[in-house]
């Protein structure tokens, strides 16, 4: 007399061998959701980590490169950070992380003649081969003094790469 379990005599166990009945099998209906959950959990655990200091250059006026740096801190899908330029730091806003994709907004102050404008810049991109590949798009500009409209100049989207410093 063995002390092991006898599954064939257990009332709830029913083998599911015929292929035509596999979808009706109670073991199948419990296993598939578990497998899907495990797969989705594995995807979120292997999502890109954007935390760090990212440095590089972005095309400036007349094509001259401008040094740029971002300090980013990621907690799950929440991202915080700042853009660092030569003389200023500006917080990022409305940041979204989805896997290895990232988007966020920076409100930059720019001088146009004797006027200071606040320009809304959208950064979007992804992590590729250890580099952050970003695209910058000017969405809108307003006069910083009176929030009035500013004549918008059409500027193409600019793409650039950043390397993780730390």
The enclosing domain of 57 has a CATH number of 2.40.128
As for how many domains the chain has, the answer is: 2
On whether both 36 and 99 belong to a single domain, the answer is no
pLDDT, mean of residues 19-46: 56
Q: Which residues contact 58 (CB under 8 A, 6 or more apart)?
A: 65, 66, 68, 136, 158, 160
> Does residue 98 have a pLDDT over 70?
yes
On whether both 41 and 56 belong to a single domain, the answer is no
pLDDT band per the 50, 70, 90 thresholds, residue 104? very high
Q: Is residue 95 in some structural domain?
A: yes
Q: Is residue 35 in some structural domain?
A: yes
On whether both 22 and 102 belong to a single domain, the answer is no
The whole-number pLDDT of residue 119 equals 84
Q: Is residue 3 in some structural domain?
A: no
**Range of the structural domain that residue 129 is part of:** 52-164
On whether both 103 and 137 belong to a single domain, the answer is yes
Percentage above 70 pLDDT, the chain: 64
Q: Is residue 77 in some structural domain?
A: yes
On whether both 41 and 94 belong to a single domain, the answer is no
Quote the pTM value: 0.66
Q: Is residue 99 in some structural domain?
A: yes
pLDDT band per the 50, 70, 90 thresholds, residue 102? very high
On whether both 129 and 66 belong to a single domain, the answer is yes
Q: Is residue 146 in some structural domain?
A: yes
> Does residue 137 have a pLDDT over 80?
yes
Q: Return the exposure string of 26-37: e unless at least 16 CB atoms fall within 10 Å of the residue's CB, then b.
A: eeeeeeeeeeee
The whole-number pLDDT of residue 154 equals 64
Nearest alpha-carbon partner for 85 in 51, 50, 121: 121
On whether both 28 and 56 belong to a single domain, the answer is no
Q: Is residue 5 in some structural domain?
A: no
């Amino acid at each position: 007399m063995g002390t092991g379990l006898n599954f064939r005599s257990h009332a709830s166990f029913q083998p599911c061998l015929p292929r035509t009945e596999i979808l009706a099998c109670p073991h199948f209906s419990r296993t598939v959701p578990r497998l899907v959950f495990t797969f989705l959990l594995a995807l979120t655990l292997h999502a890109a980590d954007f935390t760090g200091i990212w440095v590089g250059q972005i095309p400036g006026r007349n094509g001259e490169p401008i040094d740029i740096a971002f300090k980013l801190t990621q907690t799950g899908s929440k991202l915080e950070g700042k853009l660092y330029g030569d003389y200023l730091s500006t917080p990022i806003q409305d940041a979204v992380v989805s896997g290895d994709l990232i988007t966020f907004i920076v409100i930059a102050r720019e001088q146009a003649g004797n006027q200071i404008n606040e320009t809304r810049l959208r950064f979007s991109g992804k992590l590729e081969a250890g580099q952050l590949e970003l695209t910058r798009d000017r969405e809108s500009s307003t006069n910083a003094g009176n929030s009035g409209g500013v004549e918008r100049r059409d500027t193409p989207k600019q793409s650039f790469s950043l390397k993780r410093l730390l």
